[in-house]
Amino acid sequence: MNFTELNLDNNLLKGIKAAGFQECTPVQEATFIQTLNKKDVCVQSQTGTGKTAAFLISVFQLLLTDEKLKGSKTLIIAPTRELAVQIEKEAILIGKYLNFKTGCFYGGVGYAEQEKMLSSGIDIIVGTPGRLIDFSEQEKLNFKDIGILIIDEADRLFDMGFLPDITKMINRMPPQGERITMLFSATLSTKVRNIAWKYMNNPVEIEIAPENLVVENVTQEIYHVGKNEKFKLLLGILNKENPKTAIIFTNMKRTAEEVCKRLEHNGLKCHYIMGDLPQSKRLSVIEKVKSGKVQILVATEVAARGLHINDLELVVNYDLPEDCENYVHRIGRTARAGKSGKAISLACEKYVYSLEAIESLTKFKIPVSWATDDLFIQDKSEGIYFSYDKANKSHNLTDNRPHKSKQPVQRKRRNVIAEPSRGGKAQSKRYTRLNEKYSNSERQSYREKTSAGNFQRKPAASKKVIPRINVQPEQKQGFFKKIASIFSFNKNTDGRKIKTAKIKPAKKGSVYERMEYYKKKHGITFVPAKELLSKENKDK
């Protein structure tokens, strides 16, 4: 179906043509049949099939033609800042010849500019849940004004823990009979259907080819390679494919930084994005990639959804994703809008265990390609170690070669003598008290005594087993004093101090004879323990 066959506003058709759209995709055609008749829809369709244009064109046409919606606002909720910005740009492009204002609201940036947009009046609000709720709590955004609600990437929103925020916002909006709601998701899970049942007005379910999770126009390959040779193989793949634009996905932020830095050492123009980067820098990097100034983008999972780069030729899974669904979203960045693309995965010993789940989900056996020796290109950054510089807020990497010495970090401490403890760390509380209690000369004397070579830790004395004896209650007074008097400290052959008895009891004789011996020597009557008597009886 051609867009001109739909009964759309002329200015809207001009914007659709300017955006380069001519034929409706299956999901768009199925959506327009319901939404243009003011029905709620719950749409399941894979990524890259034109869902964004489907709900934006519906929104513009409804705002233009429905008298009940005049003066109301449209709210589009997205899971990530990148996706929200992408939706805003497409809305501005399609609505180029319409008199509607579109604004984007997300965290990670200041409030002032976004507050100014709200106060000046806005028709289409695109945002992430956190910032939208913030403005609602500040009474700068009234959800009662919402006439059309769009929930995009619903399954992703719920996976990220935004379900309570979504329900909070919906509860503050007009009831489902007084608004139009559209929900779009890659999968219609139980949570998605529950939201549809509870907060939507008899929604029509639209499922477009749910059995094919991966776009057919994506050529998939996988290489089995050791972790130590993975980067050399990546260089060979980039040299062989020579893509104009490519995205390399990693599982960890540090890996993304390191891969990007090593690619730069090998003469490739690249940038990386991750959740920790400031929003302004992330947007700047994405713009450079889209404009062609940067050939390669290294990204973590934050860019797997909502990032649209025209004519993206290659997606490389440097690390196989641990969540099998993320594989679908990663490779869905290419082969969009009917175009073709390529996805290459590197399966090392660390992440190869995800392969079975990925193939089970996609119901597709990824063809294995074998890397020949000429595909491994020598890494110019080999031998250079890159570490994550926590002190640098810009998250740059540090060239940490072995022959370069690190400068110690100087930290200021108040009233602390940085004396090392036996564990190697400064005991700040202990020496703070020392500063307050003693004079300089006393502290100096303490340091000399405890300095290396002048002070040795006293070894633990060897335990000596002493036979247990029972003492009568009337004889307890002064007993321990008398017992202590019979011991003295003598030096062993190795120089340690050990306890030895002054008077040794007779080695021969019965228990009673030995007790009589102690009575004469110490004037105390002892009662032998039962264990000694029983042992003596056995010996007899």
- Do the domain assignments include residue 213? no
- Do the domain assignments include residue 454? no
| pLDDT score, position 328 | 84
Q: Compute the chain's Rg from CA coordinates.
A: 38
Task: Determine contact, residues 94/3, Cβ cutoff 8 Å.
Answer: no
| pLDDT score, position 479 | 54
| pLDDT score, position 35 | 94
Are residue 71 and residue 138 in the same domain, yes or no?
yes
Task: Determine contact, residues 101/78, Cβ cutoff 8 Å.
Answer: no
| Strand 470-471 versus strand 397-399 pairing type | unpaired
Place of tokens 């709900």: 55
Are residue 441 and residue 474 in the same domain, yes or no?
no
* CATH number of domain containing 314: 3.40.50.300
- Do the domain assignments include residue 375? yes
- Last residue of one domain, picked from the residues 207, 239, 261: 207
Instruction: Supply the DSSP string of 351-417, one letter for each residue.
Output: TGGGHHHHHHHHT--PPB----GGG-PPPTTTT--EEE-TT-TT--EEE--TTSPPPPPP---SS--
* Residue among 355, 284, 291 at smallest CA distance from 319: 355
- Do the domain assignments include residue 226? yes
Rounded to an integer, what distance in angstroms lies between the CA atom of residue 318 and that of residue 59?
39
- Do the domain assignments include residue 460? no
| pLDDT score, position 349 | 93
**C-alpha distances in angstroms, 207 versus 46, 185, 488?**
9, 10, 92
| pLDDT score, position 330 | 87
- Last residue of one domain, picked from the residues 151, 181, 207: 207
* Residue among 170, 211, 213 at smallest CA distance from 324: 213
Q: Where are the beta strands (DSSP E) in 121-273?
A: 124-127, 146-151, 180-185, 204-207, 218-224, 246-249, 270-273
Print pLDDT tens along the chain (540 aa). 888 888 899 999 999 999 888 889 889 999 999 999 999 999 987 767 788 999 999 999 999 999 999 889 999 999 988 889 989 999 999 999 999 999 999 988 889 999 999 999 899 999 999 999 999 999 999 999 999 999 998 888 887 888 899 999 999 999 988 999 999 987 777 888 888 888 999 999 998 765 455 667 789 999 999 999 999 999 999 999 999 899 999 999 889 999 999 999 999 989 998 877 777 787 788 888 888 888 899 998 765 556 777 778 899 999 999 888 788 888 888 877 667 889 999 999 999 999 999 998 888 899 999 999 999 999 999 888 876 655 444 444 444 444 444 444 444 444 444 444 444 444 444 444 445 556 666 666 666 655 544 444 445 555 444 455 555 555 555 555 555 555 444 445 455 544 444 444 444 567 677 777 777 777 666 666 666 666 666 665
Are residue 142 and residue 278 in the same domain, yes or no?
no
* Residue among 173, 97, 95 at smallest CA distance from 132: 173
- Last residue of one domain, picked from the residues 207, 236, 263: 207
- Do the domain assignments include residue 405? no
Place of tokens 């823990």: 161
- Do the domain assignments include residue 195? yes
| pLDDT score, position 502 | 44
Q: Can you give the three-state secondary structure of 414-469, one letter per residue?
A: CCCCCCECCCCCECHHHHHHHHHHCCHHHHHHHHHHHCCCCCCCCCCCCCCCCCCC
Which residues fall within 8 angstroms of residue 122, CB to CB, at 6 or more apart? 73, 101, 102, 103
**C-alpha distances in angstroms, 234 versus 34, 223, 309, 515?**
46, 10, 21, 87
Residue 13 sits at φ, ψ, to 5 deg, of -65, -35
**C-alpha distances in angstroms, 283 versus 230, 287, 294?**
29, 6, 13
Instruction: State the maximum Cα–Cα separation within the chain, in Å, rounded to a whole number.
Output: 124
Rounded to an integer, what distance in angstroms lies between the CA atom of residue 162 and that of residue 139?
21
Residue 43 sits at φ, ψ, to 5 deg, of -110, 130
| pLDDT score, position 515 | 74
Rounded to an integer, what distance in angstroms lies between the CA atom of residue 28 and that of residue 5?
13
Helix (H) or strand (E) holding 289: helix 279-291
| pLDDT score, position 516 | 76
Are residue 421 and residue 364 in the same domain, yes or no?
no
| pLDDT score, position 415 | 41
Are residue 193 and residue 70 in the same domain, yes or no?
yes
Which residues fall within 8 angstroms of residue 526, CB to CB, at 6 or more apart? 469, 470, 471, 515, 518, 519
**Residue range(s) defining the domain that contains residue 437:** 411-447
Task: Determine contact, residues 56/30, Cβ cutoff 8 Å.
Answer: no
Are residue 440 and residue 371 in the same domain, yes or no?
no
Are residue 172 and residue 271 in the same domain, yes or no?
no
Task: Determine contact, residues 263/289, Cβ cutoff 8 Å.
Answer: no
Task: Determine contact, residues 334/47, Cβ cutoff 8 Å.
Answer: no
- Do the domain assignments include residue 458? no
Rounded to an integer, what distance in angstroms lies between the CA atom of residue 266 and that of residue 236?
11
Are residue 174 and residue 41 in the same domain, yes or no?
yes
| pLDDT score, position 470 | 55
Are residue 68 and residue 171 in the same domain, yes or no?
yes
| Structural domain count, the chain | 4
Are residue 348 and residue 496 in the same domain, yes or no?
no
Are residue 27 and residue 104 in the same domain, yes or no?
yes
Place of tokens 């990220």: 160
Are residue 166 and residue 130 in the same domain, yes or no?
yes
